[in-house]
Amino acid sequence: MNAFHGKRFVLGVTGGVAAYKAAELARLLVKAGAEVDVVLTAAGSRFVGAVTFQALTGRPVWQSLWDERMDNGMAHIDLTRGAAALLVAPATADFLAKLTHGFADDLLTTLCLARDCPLLVAPAMNRQMWENPATQRNVEQLSADGVIILGPAEGDQACGETGAGRMFEAAELFDDLHAFIQPKLLAGKRVLLTAGPTFEPLDPVRGLTNSSSGKMGFALARACAEAGAEVTLVAGPVALATPRGVTRLDVQTALQMREEVLQNLSGQDVFIAVAAVADYRPRQLEEHKIKKKTVPRTLGLEPNPDILAEVATRADAPFCVGFAAESHDLEKYAEAKRAGKKLGLVVGNLIQDGLGCDTNRVILFDAEGAHPLLLADKATVAGRIVSHLANLLEKLHA
């Protein structure tokens, strides 16, 4: 994931216990290649010291309107110039109130007022403070003013109470920032995907399946969501976290996957079938575990429906994307799949290049021919597939 390379962020830290998560966020951003300028309020510095942020970011920390280190003495103007975004995390109730009313009585509030970049805030406070009508009014006003509100989450609070007001975790804010800086190539589009394997039970413990980690499908679902699409992901049995902002529907068998896909097809602009659907299912499902001695030596099999082929041939078919994992003759098989299933795009890869691992090398096959992409991590490959897809959709509607 190199979207952060060469980008600079201003991280405002106000006075809440969640300030410790801001330290971790700064570390994640720097590790991903971003530059981070931390602006600490007086209350923020009570929770985490400037030295910590300086060490994590490798850059000076800004705390005062009267700081003389900026050549022209105007840190409150210059810090956001050229920044990709200003994120205030944690943002206390007091800070949100000041921001709503345009206060400029310290470096961070002045910086927000004079900013020349998008502003995101991650509220963090006790649940009563969050639910208080004053805070709710402020947040509504800030939203209307174009400030992006990240969270808060619900859960245990430092004060011992439970409810809404917890700041998002550092990794979640990192993901939100990553999404925020992506070009919105699929804005307004609705995308339905399948991912993972299917599992076709033979009895309560045994079954037939394909080997598929689901990583490529999940990376693609995430990339579509980050590109601004409304994403529904029908997932076979995999141990992966749901990408932020994606609606996930879990299924086990090919028949269930088909059912969920058809139920959710209406109004979709794009259907991307990444799932490694089992081609056959056992003809009979035993209610009880088959005893070892009575396990049949021959299995009666029933073919599963081809979900993608079925969707692609419908009169109301969305733009259809298929995947082709082959062990040899990739070009020949992938192109045949594209023509055979009447697909707008096929993503082909040699099994040895992508199966189970975090990287992939793929070739895109569309009506204009084959477009090989470089070997990269699956998140990067997913981003490139999304740009190619966005181009194809644009041509289609031109």
* 174 or 323: CB nearest ligand C5P: 323
Interface mask toward ligand C5P for 225-254; x: CB under 6 A: -----------------------------x
* 214 or 228: CB nearest ligand C5P: 214
Which residue from 10, 125, 179, 324 is in contact with ligand C5P, where contact means CB under 6 A? Answer: 324
Q: What angle do CA 373, 173, 50 make, to 5 degrees?
A: 120
Alpha helices, DSSP H, located in the chain? 19-31, 44-47, 50-57, 75-78, 93-100, 107-113, 127-131, 133-144, 170-180, 215-226, 254-263, 307-312, 330-340, 351-354, 378-397
Which residue from 177, 223, 273, 345 is in contact with ligand C5P, where contact means CB under 6 A? Answer: 273
Which residue from 304, 349, 360, 380 is in contact with ligand C5P, where contact means CB under 6 A? Answer: 304
* 115 or 388: CB nearest ligand C5P: 388
* 95 or 365: CB nearest ligand C5P: 365
Of the listed pieces 47-55, 178-186, 268-276, 377-385, which binds ligand C5P according to CB under 6 A?
268-276
Of the listed pieces 128-136, 147-155, 316-324, 377-385, which binds ligand C5P according to CB under 6 A?
316-324
Of the listed pieces 20-28, 71-79, 300-308, 381-389, which binds ligand C5P according to CB under 6 A?
300-308
Of the listed pieces 18-26, 160-168, 291-299, 306-314, which binds ligand C5P according to CB under 6 A?
306-314
Instruction: State in angstroms the smallest separation of the CB of 254 from ligand C5P.
Output: 6
Q: 């999304």: which residue's tokens?
A: 386
| Residue of 98, 95, 101, 162 lying closest to 131 (CA atoms) | 162
- Contact residues for 117 (Cβ-Cβ < 8 A; gap 6+): 10, 80, 82, 83, 84, 85, 86
Tokens representing 365 are 């096959």
Which residue from 322, 344, 354, 383 is in contact with ligand C5P, where contact means CB under 6 A? Answer: 322
Which residue from 337, 338, 378, 388 is in contact with ligand C5P, where contact means CB under 6 A? Answer: 337
Per CB under 6 A, contacts with ligand C5P among 18-77 are none
Tokens representing 372 are 């090989």
Other beta carbons within 10 angstroms of residue 277's beta carbon come to 22
Which residue from 308, 362, 382, 389 is in contact with ligand C5P, where contact means CB under 6 A? Answer: 308
Instruction: State in angstroms the smallest separation of the CB of 290 from ligand C5P.
Output: 25
* 159 annotated active-site: yes
154: left (phi > 0), else alpha (psi -120 to 50), else beta? Answer: beta
**What are the strands, taking DSSP E only, across 196-283?**
199-201, 207-209, 230-235, 247-250, 270-273, 280-282
User: Burial level of 356, CB count in 10 A (0-12/13-18/19+)?
Assistant: exposed
| Residue of 278, 265, 211 lying closest to 238 (CA atoms) | 211
- Contact residues for 299 (Cβ-Cβ < 8 A; gap 6+): 202, 282, 283
Residue type, 397: H
* 180 or 333: CB nearest ligand C5P: 333
Of the listed pieces 17-25, 111-119, 180-188, 303-311, which binds ligand C5P according to CB under 6 A?
303-311
Per CB under 6 A, contacts with ligand C5P among 112-171 are none
**275 contributes a contact to ligand C5P by CB under 6 A:** yes
Instruction: State in angstroms the smallest separation of the CB of 273 from ligand C5P.
Output: 3
* 96 or 216: CB nearest ligand C5P: 216
Say how far apart CA 187 and CA 233 lie, in whole Å: 17
| Residue of 224, 143, 242 lying closest to 187 (CA atoms) | 224
Which residue from 176, 260, 306, 366 is in contact with ligand C5P, where contact means CB under 6 A? Answer: 306
CB 232 within 8 A of CB 193: yes
Q: How many residues bind ligand C5P (CB under 6 A)?
A: 14
The active-site residue out of 159, 224, 320, 357 is 159
Q: What angle do CA 205, 209, 213 make, to 5 degrees?
A: 110
**Active-site amino acid positions:** 159
Residues binding ligand C5P (CB under 6 A): 194, 254, 273-275, 277, 304, 306-308, 322-324, 337
